[in-house]
A and B are shown apart, each in its own frame.
Chain A
């Protein structure tokens, strides 16, 4: 059974039209990550939540926002998508701590901007 679920798998949006990608988890993990992965590149961390604490990467554009209304759900909002924002967006979760815990990834949402 899928433990990190991303919806939709494929999203097409118009240039400049706000879009929201969603991620849900059944693992009760307290850390949730959003990564952007462009073709043939490494996943790049946009931001992450530790519980309700939001941690933004320094180079994440302001165009990208996130919400985490509860433990299970996390949303990625792109306020005004540009052509350069077309990518695979990956959500991951893990348990915070010093012990090793696996980061579980969703299947990703492939965003196309037209």
Chain B
């Protein structure tokens, strides 16, 4: 079965880089996503990476994928107070069963 795990909490100073890590177990995952959830809100897709890629950069966001170790990370450069939120990684298998499985979420606290 699928299992996606993240560390629960990360605290960084404004202007520093944040790195949020995620491990997953389903090697058949096709896409891996990072979602952001602000308090009381739904989920907002930040970025994604296809499983045959190692890295993807999107402005301040860098996603690294180590498929061998089933490890995904999200790096946020120049972290701002507006980045404070919960970040979920999620895996998706594009085969017959269209299921998106979420990790446990990492709460990012940005200290001014």
Name A's B-contacting residues (CB within 8 A).
Answer: 4, 6, 31, 33, 35, 40-45, 48, 50, 55, 90, 92, 94, 96-100, 102-108, 110
B93 to chain A, nearest CB (A): 10
Closest A residue to B89 by CB, please name it.
A42
Find out whether the CB atom of A33 lies under 8 angstroms from the CB atom of B100: yes
Chain B residues 26-46 with CB under 8 Å of chain A are 30-31, 33, 35, 40-45
B13 within 8 A of A: no
Kindly identify, within residues 81 to 99 of chain B, every residue whose CB is under 8 Å from any CB belonging to chain A.
88, 92, 94, 97-99
Neighbouring A residues of B101 by C-beta, 8 Å: 45
Q: Tally chain B residues at the interface, Cβ within 8 Å.
A: 25
Shortest C-beta distance, A27 to chain B (Å), equals 14
Is the beta-carbon distance between B104 and A90 smaller than 8 angstroms?
Answer: no
Report A-chain residues with C-beta under 8 Å of the C-beta of B4.
42
Min Cβ gap A76→B in Å is 15
* CB closest chain-A residue, reference B4: A42
Bound CA–CA A99/B98 (angstroms)? 12
Do B99 and A90 touch (CB < 8 A)? no
Which of B33, B48, B98, B100 has the largest number of chain A CB atoms within 10 A?
Answer: B98
Which of B48, B98, B102, B103 is close to A31, meaning CB atoms less than 8 Å apart? Answer: B98
Q: Flag if B88 contacts A43 (CB, 8 Å).
A: yes
Contact B45 A108 (CB under 8 A): no
Taking a contact as CB atoms under 8 Å apart, the answer to whether A107 and B45 are in contact is no
Within 8 Å CB of A104, what residues of B?
Answer: 45
Contact (Cβ within 8 A) A107 B41: yes
User: Could you tell me if A103 and B100 are in contact, using CB atoms closer than 8 angstroms?
Assistant: yes
A98 CA / B97 CA spacing, docked (Å): 11
28 sampled A-B residue pairs with Cβ under 8 A: A4-B42, A6-B42, A31-B98, A33-B100, A40-B105, A42-B4, A42-B88, A42-B103, A42-B104, A43-B43, A45-B101, A48-B98, A48-B99, A55-B97, A92-B100, A94-B100, A97-B94, A99-B94, A100-B30, A100-B31, A100-B48, A102-B45, A102-B48, A103-B33, A103-B45, A108-B40, A108-B41, A110-B40
